[in-house]
A = this chain, B = another copy of it.
Amino acid sequence: MAGSWVDIPADSDFSLANIPFGIVSTPNDPSSHAAVAIGTSILDLKVLFTSSASPFLTTQIIPSLAGHEHVFAQPTLNAFAELGRAVHREVRAGIQALIAADTSHPDVLRDNAPLREAALLPQRAVTLHLPMSIGDYTDFYAGYHHAYAVGVMFRGPANALQPNYTHLPVGYHGRASSIVVSGTPVRRPVGQILLDEKPVTAPSRRLDFELELGCFISRANAQGTSVAVDEADKEFIFGYVLLNDWSARDIQAWEYVPLGPFNSKNFASTISPWVVLADALEPFRAAAIPNSTPLQGYLQEPKDKKSVFDIKLEVDLTTPESDTTTVCRTSSRNLLWSFPQMIAHHTLGGCPLRAGDLLGSGTISGPDASERGSLLELSEGGKKDVLLYGMDARTFLKDGDTVTLRGYCADGNGARVGFGECRGRIYGPSSN
């Protein structure tokens, strides 16, 4: 792909091939509204589509947006998501055309100094907000190596996976209100935990991160109807974010029988601020982990289908002393189930999805020791120190620790498509 007249560093997650969407407030406009990320800049879509250039854009370049320009003035991307994948595609392509080095429309933005100065802002000058209004959040458990490793820890290798695990994408309902955008400090939860087999109320001593991929839904299905797996792939996915599903292992162990995780997971989950459109990830498709279990019809995808993505994922742990160690490097291809399969399963009984719903993949770990997507696995259930730079070590997170997830795809030709950061710092329950 040719370059852009906007300065885009070679290692930027936000290349011309990406164009992820987010919600910003800016020095000139404190109300939350839509933007895309380009290199170290943002392009303010509210400014662009309320400018005198807008009529030209919606007649000549992005006709499918005509009459819907107001979606970019809204405080979430839900209305834009609901316009459907064909519109997302056309808007992304139109923005790429505008900012391409060899743009056919230099007068619209490149050579229009007043608009360029109003609409193109440094990322560091804007505040990023939660991109979607999340009606419901569902967390799946599709990371095979994670499920297996945790199963071995609790039940041994013979019974590591529950009998249902390879038959259906196991998932549970999470807490939508607890989802926060990257950078939001996370308070260590207080909870009931067992100490010497007696419950006490105390700050969690086994606070963990979970490396996940999040998927935003673009459209609703009517209650009582289901979504076919291929329809899910083509029409129901808006885009993707990184997701850190913070987990308090000690609270979880005591509370979760028989109805699943609750306070161990509902205090905060952090997502990266930029939604990478489904189209932007298409070139990076990969095969999921093979599943030898014969699948029910509604879960079947074509045998050679590349149903997941090869996103390089990394987890950095930064100590209060500012020493950073990359504790995990893996890929989002390590999933047994694809998001279309999760959507088909979620709606099988008629559960209504809505635009803005968030699905989590479940913790993603790879087969190797360096690919473990949680401290539970890295520390082998808290038994082993995870060594860090600065002569430090962890089994679980300490107050003042910062966890940063990163993710990107690269095809070697500069078409780097990345997510930016998903970052959160832990503070103690007695501090403010």
Contact = CB atoms under 8 A, between A and B. Distances in A.
A136 interface: yes
B178 A223 contact: yes
A296 interface: yes
B135 A173 contact: no
Interface of A: 135-136, 141, 162, 164, 167-168, 170-178, 180, 187, 189-192, 199-201, 204, 223-224, 226, 248, 251, 254-264, 266-268, 296-298, 345-346, 348-354, 357, 429
B259 A258 contact: no
B349 A248 contact: yes
B259 A164 contact: no
Contact of A259 (B176, B187, B260): B260
Interface of A is mostly: loop
Contact of A349 (B170, B256, B266): B266
Contact of A351 (B167, B224, B267): B267
A267 B224 contact: yes
A178 B296 contact: no
A192 to B, nearest CB: 5
B201 A296 contact: yes
A199 B136 CA distance: 28
11 contacts: A164-B192, A168-B192, A170-B259, A172-B172, A172-B260, A177-B353, A178-B351, A180-B223, A187-B350, A268-B350, A350-B429
